[in-house]
């Protein structure tokens, strides 16, 4: 493990920490789980008066940069798995694209908060919610294929790899079964499991060598 390898591995933990810190600051306790359009406009007004919230949104965008690095590192590390690594890369890229794209309606609503109606604000907010739920599909594909690829290349032990396969498949299943029947809470326990698995993977690869690396090290003859 070189220093650059560790940067790639720990970028996943960096994403987790930065994104959750930003969300904690952005969270508006006065906004209910199923807000009205006027309540959303009022919340955007509070954002405008809070430099800390605006800084948190920029921090969230920086977290996405760390996430891009992590997806690239994971897929590079399991590249010998062939199409599984390629499928993981596709899933990661689509997940990032959907997530960044889902911020566009919110930014639009924030910028035009004094000119749009409550009904329009509600539509923009709902687009963000729907995008998050649809993002379960590529997020699950990324974890499913990355874990399967790591198992094939012996970059992870069986327990960690099969746990990732189960979590990834569970997210894909949740997205498919939910379909258009998306709730108003915007919360998915299965996506939380994805984040936790990726955090553990990031820390594990950052601190420890993979089973394949250990085998290679053991097979290398020692010189006197």
Q: How many residues does the chain have?
A: 224
- Cα separations in angstroms, 15 against 18, 73, 124, 160: 5, 13, 25, 20
Least confidently predicted of 6-15, 25-34, 96-105, 158-167? 25-34
The whole-angstrom separation of Cα 62 and Cα 80 is 30
Mutual angle of helices 158-178 and 189-207, in 10-degree steps? 150
Weakest-pLDDT range from 9-23, 33-47, 207-221: 207-221
Tracing tokens 């739920």 back to the chain, one arrives at 133
pLDDT at 208: 81
- The pLDDT, as a whole number, for residue 224 is 42
Of 136, 200, 121, 199, which is closest to residue 168 (Cα–Cα)? 136
Q: Can you give the pTM of this predicted structure?
A: 0.84
The mean of the pLDDT values for the chain is: 86
Q: Taking a C-beta distance cutoff of 8 angstroms, is the pair 93, 119 a contact?
A: no
- Cα–Cα distance measured from residue 156 to residue 9, given in angstroms and rounded to the nearest whole number: 13
**pLDDT tier at 162, thresholds 50, 70, 90:** very high
- Tokens representing 121? 């604000």
List the alpha helices (DSSP H) in 49-157: 51-77, 83-111, 118-134, 136-152
Average pLDDT over residues 57-83: 92
pLDDT of residue 159: 93
At 121-132, the pLDDT tens digits run: 889 888 888 888
Does 2 score more than 70 pLDDT?
yes
Given pLDDT bands bounded at 50, 70 and 90, which one contains residue 209?
A: low
* Three-state SS at 116: coil
Give phi and psi for 196, each to the nearest 5: -65, -40
Give the confidence band of 80 by pLDDT, cuts at 50, 70, 90.
very high
- 3-class SS at 32? coil
If one compares 57 and 144, the residue with the highest pLDDT of the two is 144
Alpha carbons 138 and 196: distance in angstroms, whole number: 16
pLDDT value for 221: 54
Q: For residues 98 and 134, give the distance between their C-alpha atoms in angstroms, rounded to a whole number.
A: 8
pLDDT band at 101 (very low <50, low <70, confident <90, very high): confident
The residue with greater pLDDT, 7 or 29, is 7
Mutual angle of helices 37-48 and 51-77, in 10-degree steps: 100
């Amino acid at each position: 493990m070189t220093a650059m390898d560790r940067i790639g591995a720990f970028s996943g933990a960096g994403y987790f920490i930065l994104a959750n810190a930003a969300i904690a600051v952005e969270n508006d306790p006065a906004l209910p789980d199923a807000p009205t359009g006027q309540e959303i406009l009022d919340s955007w007004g509070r954002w405008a008066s809070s430099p800390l919230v605006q800084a948190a949104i920029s921090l969230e965008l920086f977290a996405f940069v760390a996430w891009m690095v992590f997806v690239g590192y994971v897929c590079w590390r399991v590249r010998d798995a062939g199409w599984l690594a390629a499928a993981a890369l596709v899933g990661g890229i689509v997940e990032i694209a959907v997530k960044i794209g889902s911020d566009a309606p919110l930014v639009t609503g924030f910028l035009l908060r004094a000119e749009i109606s409550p009904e329009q604000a509600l539509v923009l907010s709902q687009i963000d919610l729907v995008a998050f739920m649809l993002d379960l599909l590529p997020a699950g594909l990324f974890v499913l294929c990355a874990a399967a690829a790591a198992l094939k290349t012996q970059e992870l032990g069986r327990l960690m790899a099969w746990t990732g396969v189960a979590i990834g498949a569970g997210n894909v299943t949740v997205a498919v079964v939910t379909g258009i029947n998306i709730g108003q809470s915007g919360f998915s326990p299965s996506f939380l499991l994805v984040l936790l698995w990726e955090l553990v993977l990031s820390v594990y690869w950052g601190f420890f060598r993979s089973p394949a690396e250990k085998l290679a090290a053991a097979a290398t003859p020692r010189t006197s």
